[in-house]
Structure 1
Amino acid sequence: MKQLVPKYKWDRVKRAIENSRKILMTTHINPDGDGLGCEAAMYYFLKKLGKDPVIYNSSDLPPEYEFLNREGMFKRYTKQMGSSVFKGVDLIMVFDIGTPDRLGCIGEYVSKSSILKICVDHHPNKHGNFDIEIVDPDAPSVTFMIFDLIKCIDSSLIDYPIAEALYVGLLTDTGSFRFENTTIEALKMAIEMLEHGVKPGQVYRQIYENLRPIQAKLLGYVLQHLHYELSGKVAWFSLTREEIKSEGAKLEDVDGFTDFVRSIKDVEVSVMFLELDDKKIKVNFRSKGRVAVNGIAHRHGGGGHPYAAGMLLQMPISEAIGLVLEEVFELFGERSI
């Protein structure tokens, strides 16, 4: 087998995998292509190593990623399951979480468990009580890091399902190779995935060209009620539970809306305010690159990347809008509208 020089120090991770049989994997709530790609790639890879991998997430698998679920391995974790899913588990692997609270309800048991825990991430945040942490804020995706781990262990085991899952994470976290994190190394990895049979057009259509009619209707509502500030440099929208219900949609139907608003000409920063409960507001930020938005998220207990971040605020949506917009304006040297 060709000798490869790994980018990261995987020695402890390799030993942990070698000494384990049943390995539980999880990622953040409302999982994206990167977290799911890590889980799927490692699931297929670990099976080839003779291990018994299981995947439990605190959120359902988004429909656009169902094509990764060939073996039905993505399981929804609920509070009612308690610690039962950890029975017989030797190792816990956590991917792409940013902060431990983003694990959702499974996080309570992960944090309390005495089972060896590994976190692999590219978010520059505090990750919590993990036995082993491999974190690289400069990595284009966590699947980029997992690709390095797989090559370090046995690159000959990479097949189409593994390559496809790795590619999904890379594609989605680089904005289809449009964002500033699209490095030469990222493109080289993409080429290797194509050499394993990945079809870029096919994967793109599965993820990005499956907008459901109800999502299109809700997006239309958002665009009709879009707010512009600072001569169009900032665009923001809010959605209450009642508004979403009146459009016949669900909370998860807003996925990707903040990115879409960012694509509007002259918009530098887009912000979404989503009401999850009476005093629980999800805030998403996207930036084209002129200003970093993760500082705001960090100050309020959230996290993310410089140009894509988010947080939860415990206050009415009207208060959240006022608080956050003031801080966004300060990014541009402004104090008010």
Structure 2
Amino acid sequence: MLNWKKLNQRIKSAKRIVLSTHQNPDGDGLGSAVAMYHYLKSLNIDCKILHISLFPIELNFLNKNQIIETYDESLHSNWFSKVDLALIFDVGDFNRLGSVGKKIIHNKINAINIDHHPSLNDHRFDENFINLNAAATGEMVYDFFVENNIPLNHETAQGIYTALMTDTGSFRHSNTNEKSHKIAMDCIKNGVNNSKIYQSIYENKSLAQVSLLAMVIKNLNFDEEGEIASFIISDEMLKEAGANSQDIDGFTDFVRTIKGVEIAVMIFEQSNDKCRLNFRSKGKYVINEVAKAFGGGGHKFAAGAVADGNPTYVLDQVLRETKKQISTQNINN
């Protein structure tokens, strides 16, 4: 049982708090941070949400009054110098905090990790609040509110609902349970417009994003009798489609929906001869061990990593490891 009352005491004793999440932030990380931000503001605590990536425009509805900021050393360094507590949401790995994480270490700020990813026992976190059974980190923030008798309002409920909806795939994934729906009901009771949130996130695609997806579909690769579907997104493809790195969100989930596909694998070309890896499984195979083989990690059915090498080379290595994992799991089952 996580001691949410203890966390609340820590929060109330702080004078300035930074909230953050992983690079390329999603609805769970930002939604959780937004819900907590509004609670902190109700306590008149000086706080900011700072992250290191471009802001995902589909989450603009969370960013009322521009409360979510991209970290800028020239703008935020002085403010950061007096931060005495960092609340980190859904990060998975401290390194994914980037320059915000470096600032936390440099300033010796007490850092608390709130996450539903496995704990890596990283000493850079002073405390860990981990719940592997939570459908989303937003569910844990909800538990924090309930345990401390903090009533929801529209702003906090909207953050929690966004976190839960995005990390359960709109309540479709296997991590969705009775509690997920109960939390959603509670959020809707507090004024959340679930249809508007869904449309903003999932029905707001640009022509460039659709063009890029068309290229992906045209160049899909299938292995293991169609159980593995893989694709590469190169820098050249991005330029041709007029797309950017944010436009790839959801592509792996889409490919996973193809009949017969059990595992979807994305290789996304980055700068400096590196590739971002993204894995999704329907549930027949556990794929976070594949991600771990490349220095990454994640959940059993959704994971990621970063690998060195050009996309073709990396895909070959990833498929080799994925096939090995499938073979091992088939034998054990």
Classify the TM-score, shorter chain. Answer: over 0.9
Q: 85-94 or 65-74: which moved more?
A: 85-94
2:289 corresponds to: 295
CA contact (8 A) 2:290 2:325 kept: no
Identity of aligned residues (%): 37
Kindly tell me: are residues 298 and 81 of structure 1, through their superposed partners in 2, closer, same or farther at Cα, counting changes over 3 Å? farther
Give structure 1 regions of 4+ aligned residues with deviation exceeding 4 angstroms.
79-82
Which residue is 1:3 aligned to?
none
- Distance in 1 (CA, whole Å) between partners of 2:106 and 2:4 is 25
Residue 119 (structure 1) aligned to one of 102, 113, 116: 113
Displacement after TM superposition at 1:80 (Å): 5.2
> Quick one: distance in 1 between partners of 2:73 and 2:267?
27
Q: How does 1:263-278 map to 2 (within 5 A)?
A: 263-278=257-272
Q: Which amino acid aligns with 1:140?
A: A
Matched, 1:132 2:127: yes
Give deviations 1:105-134, integer Å, cap 9, x for gaps. 222122333222111001014152211110
Q: State the partner residue of 1:308.
A: 302
Matched residue type, 1:177: F
Could you tell me how far apart the structure 1 residues matched to 2:121 and 2:200 are?
31
Instruction: Tell me which moved more, 297-306 or 133-142.
Output: 297-306
The whole-number CA distance in structure 1 between the counterparts of 2:76 and 2:186 is 40
Selected match of 1:210 from 181, 198, 204: 204
In 2, Cα distance between equivalents of 1:111 and 1:300: 25
Question: Is the CA contact (8 Å cut-off) linking 1:278 and 1:316 kept in structure 2?
Answer: no
Q: Which stretches in structure 2 are left out of the alignment for 5+ residues?
A: 329-333
- Cα separation, partners in 2 of 1:246 and 1:80, compared to 1, 3 Å: farther
1:198 pairs with 2:192: yes
8 Å Cα contact 1:60-1:76 kept in structure 2 = yes
User: Shift of residue 34 of structure 1?
Assistant: 0.2
In structure 1, the gaps of 5 or more residues are 1-6
Deviation for aligned residue 1:179? 0.9
Q: Does 1:148 align with 2:143?
A: yes
C-alpha distance in structure 1 between counterparts of 2:47 and 2:254, whole Å: 36
Q: Helix, strand or coil for the counterpart of 1:188?
A: helix
Q: Supply the AA of the counterpart residue of 1:172.
A: T
1:69 and 2:66 are equivalent in the alignment: no
Q: Indicate if the aligned counterparts of 1:78 and 1:105 stay in contact, CA closer than 8 A.
A: no
Instruction: Give the alignment of 1:220-239 within 5 angstroms.
Output: 220-239=214-233
1-structure distance, mates of 2:73, 2:293:
29
2:4 aligns with one of 6, 10, 16: 10
Say whether residues 1:245 and 2:239 are aligned partners: yes
* Aligned-partner SS, 2:268: strand
Q: Which residue of 1 aligns with 2:156?
A: 162
Figure out how many residues of one structure are paired with residues of the other and give that number.
Answer: 327
TM-score between both structures, scaled by the size of structure 1 = 0.93
Match of 2:16 in 1: 22
Q: CA RMSD in A?
A: 1.5
Residues 30-67 of structure 1: CA distance to partner in whole angstroms, max 9, x if unpaired? 00000000111011111112212211100121000001
Matched AA of 1:310? G
TM, length-normalised to structure 2: 0.94
1:54 and 2:34 matched: no
Q: Deviations over 1:171-211 (max 9, x none)?
A: 00011111111121111111111111212212111111001
2:86 aligned with 1:92: yes
Could you tell which deviates more after superposition, 87-96 or 165-174? 87-96
Q: Given that residues 100 and 127 in structure 1 are in contact (C-alpha distance below 8 angstroms), is that contact kept between their aligned partners in structure 2? A: no
Q: Which residue in 2 is equivalent to 1:4?
A: none
Q: 1:287 to 1:197 in 2, by over 3 A?
A: same
- Separation of aligned partners in 2, 1:80 and 1:328: 43
SS at match of 1:281: strand
